[in-house]
Structure 1
Amino acid sequence: MKHLTIFILLFFMIPAATTAFAGQAKTNTSNLVIHITGFENSNGIAKVVLVNSKKNYNKETPFKGYNFNIINNRVIKNITLPYGEYAIKVYHDENGNHELDTRIFGIPVERYGFSNNARGTFGPPEYEEALFNLNSPKKEITITLQ
């Protein structure tokens, strides 16, 4: 009888514990809808960099990088991401050379933008200006290139 009692207890406790731990391990994710406008044409691609910390904002190794096709002078993309803080940088790689082309003194020739439509005075805006929080099942943002 003792073995039967232990078996019954284990039979009911293990699935309950597994379900409880599975709920704790679940990461909340969000569907981020990105609208990018301000393209003068649909040539080339939109190079999009997603960063998830101040540490990787100015580095060559972002959290994620994307090449999006431009259709009718705009981009609309859905990305599933875990909840957290992010910033987005984008530029129109019109000639497909995978570089932001610049003039003298580093002034961009190709159009570019940041999340929150943040703008820097002499260079890119600070991370905190482009930062947005992803903390709901769906979020839409619009970036207008300059």
Structure 2
Amino acid sequence: MKTLTTIIVLTLLVFFGNAQESEEKGQTITVTIENITNSNGHVIISLHNEATFMKTAPLKIEKSVIKDGKITAILKNVTPGTYAIIGLHDENDNNRMDFETTGMPKESYGVSNNPVLFGPPQFAQAKFNVTDQNIEMKLIF
């Protein structure tokens, strides 16, 4: 009986140890923005693949408090692949970008790689690869 109990306990320990390990797989993307014009609202950082970019809900999202015109957001457990990041200064905390009647954004935003934008951002301009290394990037609004 004692041997059976020991085997069950060891099996459970291995099972839970592997489950925790699988939850921690993937890389970390640390995003910093240092040129935020005011401390109203929050900054929302969203991770997208080509299928979700500017179309549907992001794969991951982090909402950051602005301190001294800066934020740092950390996206954890990102599996290898090709992604793009969109950052939005959601000044009125309504969790979406607001637009002028002309269609121009009312709130500051930026995308990974900091391309000069003439029109809506394109995935091809913002994409980057996640491999086996953590990533640090700066976005410019």
CA distance in 1, matches of 2:127, 2:38: 28
Aligned residues: 121
Identity level (%): 29
Correspondence for 1:44: 41
TM-score of the two chains, using structure 1 as the length reference = 0.72
Correspondence for 2:134: 138
**Which structure features the higher share of helix residues?**
1
Secondary structure of residue in 2 paired with 1:104:
coil
Secondary structure of residue in 2 paired with 1:118:
coil
CA distance in 2, matches of 1:69, 1:144: 17
Larger Rg: 1
Are the aligned partners of 1:43 and 1:95 in contact in 2 as well (CA < 8 Å)? yes
User: Residue deviations 1:39-81, cap 9 Å, x none?
Assistant: 1112210122210x21111223221222211111111122221
One of 117, 120, 126 as aligned partner of 2:117: 120
Does residue 96 of structure 1 match 2:93? yes
Correspondence for 1:3: none
CA RMSD of aligned residues (A): 2.3
Gaps of 5+ in 1: 1-21
Does residue 79 of structure 1 match 2:75? yes
Report the alpha carbon displacement of residue 84 of structure 1 after superposing the two structures with TM: 1.5
